[in-house]
Structures are given as C-alpha cells and as structure tokens.
Amino acid sequence: MIILDKVSKSFETELFKAKKKVLNQISLEIKKGSITGFLGANGAGKSTIIKLIMGFIKADEGKLHFNKELGITNKSIYSKIGFLPERPFFYPHLTGREFLQYLGGLNDLSPSVLREKIDLFSSRLSLKNHLDKKVHNYSKGMLQRLGIISCLIHDPMLLILDEPLSGMDPPGRKEIKEILLECHENGKTIFFSSHILSDVEEICDRVIVLDAGNLKFQGYKTELLPIKNTFIIKLWGKMENIKPNLILEIKNKGGNTELEVSEENLQEFLANVSITGSKIQSIKRKNSTMDEIIFGIS
C-alpha cells in the first residue's frame, strides 16, 4: 500500500550545529491488507516516518510511493486514509457528536450515513452516552475513543495510527483491538505504532522495527518470533533426584516448580522424573516473546 525507498531525514537541533539525522536510508513496505505493527524506542524515528507518509514534512532523500488504488492526487490519497496522531487535537468547545459531524462533512458523507457511522462506532467503543458532552470534559481514554471513531467514519482503505492504545484501560484496548481485527478482515490495511509489545504480538501479522533511525527488521511476525527448541514443564514434587544438568532454568511458583528443558534433553529428563515420584502437570514448547526479540536486535 505504501513503499518508502531509501528515505533519509535530518533536523536542526541547535543553531550553528550540524543537523541530526533521524532517518538513515529507510526502505520499507506497508503491504496491502496487512496489520503492521511499528516498533522502536522513543527517538527511533517512528513518528517522523508517519509524518512523512502523511505529508506533514518532506524527506531530504528518497521517495515515497502510494498504491494507485489510493489515487494519484494528494486529495484522493489522504481522503482514503484514517489517521490518528500520537497527540491528537480536538476542538474543546464542540461536543463529541459535533466534532464527528464536522469531520464527516469534510469527507462529504451524507447526513444519514454519518449518523449511522457515528451511532455504530460510538456504541462499539462505549462512547455513545458521552457524545453530547463537550470535548473538554472528556478523559484521555474517551478522547482516544473519539479519535479512533474519527478515523473510521469515512470508511478509509488505510488506517495509520500513532500509539492508538495509549492511555486506554483494558476494556478500551480490547474494544479497539477487536475493531482493528474486523477492519483487517474487511480488507483494510492497518499500520500502527505502539510501545505495548503484547498488543502488537496479539493482532499484527507483520512487524517493522526501527532503531535510532535505522531499519532493523521488516517482515511477518512469524519470522520475528521463531519457535525455540526448549520446553516449559510444570512439575509437582521433590527435585532432589532430578539431574541438574538436564535443566536450563528453574522457577518456584507456590508449591509447584516450573522448569525449562532443551529438546535434546527432554526424553532423558522425562525418564528421570518418572523414577523420582514427582508428577508432571504440563509440558509446552517455549516461544520467544516480542520483548526478547526487540531488545535482542535493537
């Protein structure tokens, strides 16, 4: 849906000093129909890339290409994008309903379609009973819900969301993730940045990782999260007679013991346990977590 080709960007930080390069020859692709999670520490360059895509700033080098399905003019392209910045601005003197009606009007939605969309998404995101309150009375979570609705009412082809789950309570995060998954099922392309790695791990099929302005990874989540050749075994009983050389790690949890055992030692370990009188409660293969991978490659 979007391709960045060797994009670089620098900013002046202090007068009479050299510019600071925040993006270094970035080439990446947001694939059509994907949910792509955009990861990186603060200052990695994520928001800069999003601003470049949205046309707020221009690259010093490189090119940006949009899928022709979005259109060939800026007006056509951006009318098919639903965008939520990290720090969105809302007109505080308007009610939530008035704000959404204003945005719907900018997108040429008919009054009947706009009413239907506002009713649908405000119900889904638990905001319906607050639509007639002034926006300046909204909590951070309510403002985030309002921002998500504003991205959806014009039925965009592409969603670009900068930290969409920031400040949300668990029910709100669940509601937003469910809607994003439905949008994905309906063929929409979704690109969002997040610091909440578990949320990216849960709903994304592709991942892009940025570190200090450099691209560290892009590809399918399954490529980033390989299966480890170790097993987590929950054990009840005494450990005295189990050979320690067969165990990689031991954690005591209440009256139970959680062990990590390599695949090559698994059969010998199970045979050893069978003669000790201990009981195995569960065995499952261990997968790498997103945290382990990101911190490992950054």
For the record, the structure tokens of 1 come out as 């849906």
Say if residue 22 is in the same domain as residue 128. yes
The answer to whether the CB of 272 falls within 8 A of the CB of 284 is: no
Q: Are strands 256-262 and 249-253 parallel, antiparallel or unpaired?
A: antiparallel
Residue with tokens 């959806």, as numbered in its chain: 152
- Is residue 241 pLDDT above 80, yes or no? no
Say if residue 105 is in the same domain as residue 239. no
Average pLDDT over residues 160-175: 88
Q: Distance between CA 179 and CA 174 in Å, rounded? A: 9
Say if residue 253 is in the same domain as residue 217. no
pLDDT number for residue 104: 92
Say if residue 106 is in the same domain as residue 27. yes
Burial category of 44 from C-beta neighbours within 10 Å (exposed 0-12, middle 13-18, buried 19 and up): buried
Residue with tokens 């450990």, as numbered in its chain: 239
List of residues 6+ apart from 200 with CB closer than 8 A: 37, 39, 194, 207, 290
pLDDT number for residue 239: 64
**How many structural domains compose the chain?**
2
The answer to whether the CB of 207 falls within 8 A of the CB of 49 is: no
Q: Which domain holds residue 6?
A: 2-224
Which of 14-28, 67-81, 96-110, 141-155 is the least confident region? 14-28
- Is residue 22 pLDDT above 90, yes or no? yes
Q: Which of 192, 189, 185, 126 is nearest to 164 (CA)?
A: 192
pTM (predicted TM-score): 0.77
pLDDT number for residue 237: 65
- Is residue 289 pLDDT above 90, yes or no? no
Say if residue 267 is in the same domain as residue 199. no
pLDDT number for residue 296: 57
